[in-house]
Amino acid sequence: MKTARILMGVFALAALVGCATNDEGQQNVPGLPSGLETSYLAINLQSADNITRVEYEDGTAAEQLISEATFYFFDAAGNPFSVNANGNYYNVAVTDNGGTQAPNIESMTDPVLVIEKYKGQFPAKVVAVVNYKGTASLSLSDLKNTLTSVGHTDGASFVMSNSVYVDAAGEVVDATALTIDNFQTTSADALANPATIYVERLVAKVSLTAGTAAFNTGVKAGEKEVYAKITGWDLISTNLESYMVKSVDATWVDTDLGFVWNDPAYNRSYWTAKCVAAAASNAFVPAEVVNADGAIEYIGEQVGVANTDRAKYVVAAQLQDADGNPMEIAQWYGYDYIGEEALLAAVAPTLKSKLMLRTGADGSYTYTNIDDSQLALVAGLAGAESYEVSFQLAEGVPTADWYSFDGTTYTAVADPNAVLAAIQPAKIYKDGVTYYYGDIKHLGAEGKSGEFGIVRNHSYKINVTGVSGWGTPVYDPTSQVENPEKPSDKESYIAAQINVLSWAIVTNDVIL
C-alpha cells in the first residue's frame, strides 16, 4: 500500500524541557536569553521512493524502521542556526505507537518541534538525518563531508538524509527550505503548514539470483557436456561508508553520464559526486563466497573509481556433468584432462630426458625416468597466474641425485624443483570449483562515465541468466585470491542483467 512507502509522517518532539511562556503554558528555557518567542514547526518526512518515476520497489518493514532522527537547522548560507541551548540540532526519538506497520503516517502521533528564537529570526533550511543521534552542531558543509557507516547485518535502522537534486532553476537543493509560513505560534497552526522533507537511505542494496538449475557452459571436456552449478555469491571492492548528505554537481551533462541523472519534479537525482577515496579491497576467499540465492548485501556509494576498483560481484560455482556429479577438470598446453591424476600421468612422460633419478653405486648406476607418483601440483609459485598451479616434486621424494640426459651424457640437476617450476603451469578446477565475476553496472550507457557505480538508495538486482566457459579455476578454495582474474586463453564470463531500483532499481542480466 502507499503508506507502506512513507517512512515517516508528522514528526514529534515530546515536551521539550522549558519553553518561553505562551498561550500553551510552556516555560522559559534555562540558559537561553530573554526576549524569545515560542514558534512551532511541523515536519512531514517522506521517502523519496514514493514519488520517483524510475522503476522502484518498496522497502521492507525492517528497511523502513525508524527509531530516532536528528534535524539540523541552517541559515541561508548553510551555517549552523542555533534553535536551542544545544546548538543547531534537535534529536527526536520515534517509537511505535500501535500501527500494524510502524512507523507509518497513520500510526504516528503528531506533536511538533518547538523552536525558541528571537522574534522574527528563523532558520532558512533544515536537513533530517534519520536513525542517527546528533551530538554537536554541524554546518551543511560538515554534513556533506561527514562519513557514516552503512554496513548492515540485520537489514534495519538505515541512516537516511535529505534527497539531493538540482531544481528547475539549476540550483542544488541539498536542504529543505523553510518559509515563514512553516513557523506558527500554536501547534495546531504548525500542523496545518508542515515542511515536507524527502529522505533517502545512504546505503545501496545489492541482490543476486541465479536459480537452482545448472547452466550449460557451452564448452565440452572431451565428449562430455560441462555444466556450472552456482553455489554462492559475494561482493568485493565495496565501500562501507557514505557521506551524510549527498553532493551533486549542477554542471553534469546527461550525455556524458549516459543517462538522465536529475529529476527535480520528483525531488531526486541518480548520481553522486563523492565517495570514499580509499581503495577498496578486491581480495576474497572462494570458500567464503556463500551468499544464498536472492540474499541481500548493503554497501556504500562508489562512483568514478578506476576499473580495477569498481564494486564487483563474485559468483562461486561447481563444474558438473549432466547427472550433477562434480567434474575435476585440468588443462595443460591446450589439452583437457579429467582429474589431477590424469594430468600428472600426461606430464611425466614429457620429462623423461629432463629428470632422471640415479640409484646404485659407482660403476653400476641406474637412471630412472620421473613418473607421475613423484610429481605434485603447487599453487602460488612465482611466474604463475593466481588461477594456475605449478609442478614440483611430491612430498617425500628425494631432491638429490637427479640428472638430465642429452642422448650421450648424464648431467647432474642441481635443483629439480626449479626445472619443474619452469614448465608451463596448469589450470585445475579442483573438485570442479570455479568462480565468475563482473562489475556492477549503474544506469549509464555503455562507455559512458555513469555506466558503472553504486549510488545511495538504489537497489542493484543481478539476475544470472547463463554462463559461458568454465570460469576461473580454483585449486585451493581456502586460499585468498588478491584480485579476480579471467583465464588468459579462454573467454569465460557470466551473463547477468542488473536492474537498479529507487529503492531505485538497476537490473543486470548477466552471463557468467
> Mean pLDDT score of the chain, rounded to an integer?
84
pTM of the complete model? 0.86
* Cα–Cα distances in angstroms (integers) from residue 341 to residues 219, 223, 260, 319, in the given order: 22, 19, 56, 18
Q: Is 27 in contact with 114 (CB distance < 8 Å)?
A: no
pLDDT at 174 over 70: yes
First to last CA, the chain: 37
Q: Using pLDDT thresholds of 50, 70 and 90, give the confidence band for residue 17.
A: very low
Q: Using pLDDT thresholds of 50, 70 and 90, give the confidence band for residue 38.
A: confident
The Cα 201–Cα 347 span in angstroms is 57
User: What are the residues whose beta carbons fall under 8 Å from the beta carbon of 406, sequence distance 6 or more?
Assistant: 353
Q: What is the DSSP string of 196-235?
A: EEEEEESSEEEEEE--SSPEEEEEEETTEEEEEEEEEEEE
Residue 501 pLDDT: 54
Judged by DSSP in three states, 329 sits in: strand
The Cα 242–Cα 287 span in angstroms is 29
- Burial class (CB within 10 angstroms; exposed 0-12, middle 13-18, buried 19+) of 409: exposed
Which helix (DSSP H) or strand (DSSP E) does residue 68 occupy?
A: strand 68-74
Q: Which residues pair with 118 in a beta bridge?
A: 36
Residue 55 pLDDT: 59
Which of these, 464, 466, 25, 511, lies nearest to 208 by C-alpha position? 464
Cis preceding-peptide flag for 103 (omega within 30 of 0):
yes
Identify each DSSP E strand in 267-405 by its residue range: 268-269, 296-299, 312-320, 329-332, 335-338, 356-359, 366-369, 375-379, 389-393, 402-405
Q: Where do runs of H (alpha helix) occur along 291-376?
A: 340-347
pLDDT at 354 over 70: yes
Residue 19 pLDDT: 32
Structural domains in the chain plus CATH codes = 2-202 (2.60.40.2580), 206-239+275-326+431-511 (2.60.40), 340-423 (no CATH)
318-349 in b/e form (b: 16+ CB < 10 A) is: bbbbeeeeebbbbbbeeebbeebeebbebbbe
